[in-house]
Amino acid sequence: MILSETKEFFNGALTSEDKYNLMMKVGGHGNRVIDMGARLGRYLMEIPDDADRWRILAEFWSEFIIFLAPSGKEREHLRKLESGGEFITHLWTLLYHAGIVDHNTTASSGYYP
C-alpha cells in the first residue's frame, strides 16, 4: 500500500530534484506516509543550523533502530544469524544478551516503571 501510494505520488517525477520539489510543493497535507515524510522534510529544512539538523536525524534513527531490534521475532533473527545475519539481527542479539527482549523491559531494572 505504501509503495503504491508513493509511486502514485511521484508519477512523472523522474529526478531527485523533481521528487524533492513535488514533496515540498504538494506533500504534507494528508495522513499518508508520503505526506508525513514531506512534513518532516519541511520541518528539517527550516532548521537553519546543519549541525542541529543532523543531530536531530541521528537521535531519531538511533532511537528508531533500537526500538525495532527487540521485535519479538526471535526465530526469524535466529534463522538470519545462521547465514551471517543482518545489522538489525546483530543488534537484537546484543540487546537480547543485555536482557532487553521487548519494548517494555530494560537491562537495569527489568521493567519500565
pTM for the whole structure: 0.56
H or E stretch covering 30: none
From first to last of the 113 residues of the chain, give the pLDDT tens digit. 678 888 888 888 999 999 988 888 876 678 888 888 888 888 888 999 999 999 999 988 888 887 777 766 777 777 888 888 788 788 878 887 787 776 665 544 443 33
Instruction: Break the chain into its structural domains and give their ranges.
Output: 2-46, 54-113
| Cα 15 to Cα 20: distance, rounded to the nearest angstrom | 9
In a 13 Å sphere around the CA of 21, the CA atoms on its Cβ side amount to 7
H or E stretch covering 98: none
Nine-digit cell string for 78: 535466529
